[in-house]
A and B are shown apart, each in its own frame.
Chain A
Amino acid sequence: MPDATPPAEPALALPPPLTLALTVNGARHAVEIRPWTTLLDLLRDRLHLTGTKKGCDQGQCGACTVILDGKRVNACLVLAATRPGSEVRTVEGLEGPDGALHPLQAAFIEHDAFQCGYCTPGQLCSGVALIGEGHAGSAEEIREWMSGNICRCGAYPHIVEAIREVAGR
């Protein structure tokens, strides 16, 4: 959608598109974007990786969480143009090379850690990053460090259980 945003003042000339090279889930891409294209819109609308969800588009819900150069971030607030050469991992890239589910994906199914599933890709990326950060030592700690991922269905207790189980392995 932002790619189609009309100029507010007709007199303002649109800046030329720029070419961005980045790696998403191991695959290299070069895409023409505008400076205001967010990483989220780039993933969904240009690369058609629609696993990453748009909830609020304002950094408040965590549905758009992806792992950017090893760190979990809200893709809706990242201007893609600021990250040339970056490596992005989305929910589509969590599975193993053999196509097996990531242990956290399997644990989400086992623990019934979602209902509608809209927040789930963000929860999974956030949870995978959290386990790597080493802040999943207790239920209390997991709740605090997963606070950036809102679940309107209230699946929180099961999400915490799933992360606890995988972090404890």
Chain B
Amino acid sequence: MTPFAFDRAGDLPAALRAGGAPGARFLAGGTNLVDLMKYGVEAPRRLVDLGPLDGLRRVEETPDGGLRIGALVTNADCAAHPLVMERAPLLASAILHGATPQLRNMATTGGNLLQRTRCYYFYDTATACNKRAPGTGCPAREGVNRIHAILGHSEHCIATHPSDMCVALAALEAVVEVEGPGGARRIPMADFHRLPDDAPERDTTLAHGEVITAVAIPPDRFGSHHTYLKLRDRLSYAFALVSVAVGVGMEGTAIREARIALGGVAHKPWRREEAEAAMRGLAPEAAGERAAAILLEGARGFSHNAFKIELARRAIGRAVRQAASGTPQHHANKVIL
């Protein structure tokens, strides 16, 4: 690791002051940043440890019946919190499908949102990569790209966002709450992560020096009619090749309303309101087909990942059926109904 200066933030204003300095970075669980610093991919001049900010470690109810999850709540504590299990079981399930118990004990809500891609070339400082070193090129396009994007990619970058949690947050229409030198902001999930376009070095719309304080989740509308279906190269402890987060409201055997987001396929959780609108009034089978057709419009694969297009189509069908029948995928029982 390149040596760096270290601060433990006393309170939020102090954290904002220290974190605003050029080359400074915030540290939460460290499971992504410390890893990338060991690889030499990241080399901050100063780390500002958010650990002491206990006020960011709470899960609370909001007046409208939704939830606010503090940025420092660990992924393990979030998934096990009674309020989250009751009102956002889709979020709990997505979290439990990611990483390992040890990592989830360290990983935080804020850090998970800001984790970086697992693209092999991004991690390998001996290669070119537009995300790590803008302007050097994107070897993944012609190289090993099994884990890369099929949607929303650009000629400059075809990386995916690797988070499971964020796919559920997108389907739940969560809002990221932020404090910065310029005051507080609320960023809807749909606007938080970016597509690569011609600036793949920027993953999100967060500005330097801004701190994520919490994620707000609207009141639950789906009850047990949700699922997080994650398909990967091993049964556990692997990033998603394709994942689907879906929640539906049912009227008899037809879908009254739906929210659906895909993971593992793009630079951000992939959601299209047109797909959700098209599912209304349909039986699950037909709704899944319509949603897949719209969500995968324009999908284009590369030498090693074109299989994801068909995999995603089928995963969407399965997931919509699971959600409609109120039988969410279990993270430990690997049988896919």
Question: A: which residues have CB within 8 A of B?
Answer: 2, 5, 7-8, 12, 14-15, 18, 34-36, 38, 57-59, 62, 65, 71-74, 77-79, 81-83, 126, 129-130, 133, 135, 140-141, 143-145, 147-148
Contact = CB atoms under 8 A, between A and B. Distances in A.
A65 B106 CA distance: 12
Given A77-B34, A77-B106, A148 B100 contact: yes
A139 B148 CA distance: 34
B49 A12 contact: no
Given A8-B43, A74-B106, A143-B236, A15 B4 contact: yes
Interface in B8-53: 8, 27, 29-31, 34-35, 37-39, 43, 45, 47, 49, 51
Give me the 10 closest cross-chain CB pairs, A-B, nearest first.
Answer: A148-B100, A35-B6, A144-B332, A147-B236, A147-B237, A71-B105, A8-B2, A36-B1, A148-B102, A15-B5
B3 interface: yes
B199 interface: no
Contacts of A78: 30, 34, 106
Contacts of B31: 59, 74, 77
Interface string B190-231: 000000000000000000000000000000000000000000
A145 B31 CA distance: 18
Given A8-B43, A15-B5, A35-B3, 12 more contacts: A5-B2, A8-B3, A12-B45, A35-B5, A36-B1, A59-B103, A79-B49, A81-B8, A82-B51, A140-B332, A141-B332, A148-B237
A74 B103 contact: yes
B6 A58 contact: no
B76 interface: yes
25 contacts: A5-B1, A7-B2, A15-B5, A15-B6, A35-B3, A35-B47, A36-B1, A59-B31, A62-B102, A72-B101, A73-B105, A78-B106, A79-B47, A81-B6, A81-B49, A82-B8, A82-B30, A126-B102, A140-B333, A140-B334, A141-B332, A144-B236, A145-B101, A148-B99, A148-B101
B313 interface: no
B102 A5 contact: no
Interface of B: 1-6, 8, 27, 29-31, 34-35, 37-39, 43, 45, 47, 49, 51, 76, 99-103, 105-106, 236-237, 331-334
A82 B113 CA distance: 21
Nearest to B332: A144
A34 B100 CA distance: 28
Contact of A72 (B38, B51, B105): B105
Contacts of A38: 34
Contacts of A81: 6, 8, 49
B43 A58 contact: no
Contacts of A2: 1
A15 B3 CA distance: 8
B106 A73 contact: yes
Nearest to A84: B8
A135 B5 CA distance: 40
Given A57-B38, A59-B31, A148-B102, A36 B4 contact: yes
B40 to A, nearest CB: 8
